[in-house]
Structure 1
């Protein structure tokens, strides 16, 4: 008997129907993913999320009525267990992208991304154990860094081991890769990552890395 495949439920939000159709074809072609709904504007997102319970929302960042940033902010502040949000944009250095990450998005996709990149991105945020496009997120975070100095996260009370884990998270390493670097078990790394997120008040790895850069704890060269 074959194994039961658990599908990741995906909601598509974009004001261009052609874009939604293309994304639906890509996502629905995968055995472990399924599109459960579509929206043409961010205003429709709260009702669809409540009704369809998606695991991931592919969210256009620029829409005419309610943009992806406002829609993401609303989700993160009103839903007990919000879905992962991947913002979809034309330009990776767009300030809208950084604002969306601050609002709670787990990462972003470029509209010119290849089908395999889109599928990989969805699976990455579903797994939650590595950053989505870490180098691009690091560049954005570094560009917006406030440069508060190396002790910028001192108030969070991170242990030395948790600081080590956060530095490696900021480098884009997965839990397995961090375990190899620090000679720890993967479950131990997961525990440290959980502690880091809790102490920083971060929803996920992306939020933690952004805070590490903004505080100056991690710098573009360090």
Structure 2
């Protein structure tokens, strides 16, 4: 396994276990198939900490639901008429601060879709035929601000990193690293190893709040949206712990 693959393996492995949140997670379901929405609604409302507060059938419904229902997590299909899920996430990230976490869903195991979703700003990615436990676990992860990918979608992402030997891409990643302060660089590399904010803080002897502020600064400088995108840049540069 290459260093890049090991870095991505570690950051994706961190999504394996998420504690039960202390508060209710407000959910919205966006899918053009009414039966799919009903199935997810029945599954999710069986968990005491999950509450479905809104539904839509197109990416065009996302802005209205975010404004009116204030969900914490939006489960959104990739393929829909009117506006697809990836374009909807990209648009939502562009028009408002404090947008909810987005968990992309698809019935199609297509190479490249996971990366496209990440670049659009998705916080996680699931195939619709994943087990109920995996779906609920993913929701709890993204609600906590962590990235979450099912095992199969994680393999897609790792394979993409392994297939990215472009020297230009590597040099671009190396250039991005030079934009960071020494502290931010240490945080980025530690995040790519799969460490949580708390573990990064312990490793670098700084407060967890310092790690969070450093990650925000990294995202601003790089134009990244989450820790998985940060890990991809670090892996491309050939770094990792």
TM-score bracket for this pair, using the shorter chain length: 0.7 to 0.9
Does the CA contact (< 8 Å) of 1:72 and 1:85 recur in 2? yes
Pairing 1:205–2:205 present: no
SS of 1:105 mapped into structure 2: coil
Aligned twin of 2:3: none
For normalisation by structure 2, the TM-score amounts to 0.76
Q: Can you list the C-alpha shifts for 1:156-178, whole angstroms capped at 9, x where unaligned?
A: x2123322221222233211232
Does the CA contact (< 8 Å) of 1:170 and 1:218 recur in 2? no
Consecutive unaligned residues of structure 1, counting only runs of 5 or more, are: none
Pairing 1:133–2:133 present: no
Aligned twin of 1:151: 174
SS of 1:62 mapped into structure 2: coil
Alpha-carbon RMSD:
2.7
Give every structure 1 segment of 4 or more consecutive aligned residues whose post-TM-superposition deviation is greater than 6 Å: none
**Alpha-carbon distance in structure 2 between the residues aligned to 1:44 and 1:131:** 24
Residue 207 of structure 1, CA deviation: 3.3
Q: Describe how 1:81-100 pairs up with structure 2 within 5 A.
A: 81-100=98-117
Q: Residue 30 and residue 185 in structure 1: after superposition, are their counterparts in 2 closer, same or farther (change >3 A)?
A: same
Residue 25 of structure 1, CA deviation: 1.8
Does the CA contact (< 8 Å) of 1:89 and 1:97 recur in 2? no
Does the CA contact (< 8 Å) of 1:98 and 1:140 recur in 2? no
Total equivalences in the alignment: 213
**Alpha-carbon distance in structure 2 between the residues aligned to 1:74 and 1:64:** 16
Pairing 1:112–2:104 present: no
Aligned twin of 2:76: 59
Q: Residue 132 and residue 53 in structure 1: after superposition, are their counterparts in 2 closer, same or farther (change >3 A)?
A: same
SS of 2:119 mapped into structure 1: helix
Q: Describe how 1:1-222 pairs up with structure 2 within 5 A.
A: 6-128=23-145, 130-133=146-149, 136=154, 138-139=157-158, 142=161, 145=164, 146=166, 147-149=169-171, 151-155=174-178, 157-213=179-235, 216-218=236-238
SS of 2:81 mapped into structure 1: coil
Higher relative contact order (CA 8 A, sep 6+): 2
**Alpha-carbon distance in structure 2 between the residues aligned to 1:22 and 1:209:** 34
**Is the helix fraction higher in 1 or 2?**
2
Q: Residue 199 and residue 9 in structure 1: after superposition, are their counterparts in 2 closer, same or farther (change >3 A)?
A: same
Residue 180 of structure 1, CA deviation: 4.1
Aligned twin of 2:6: none
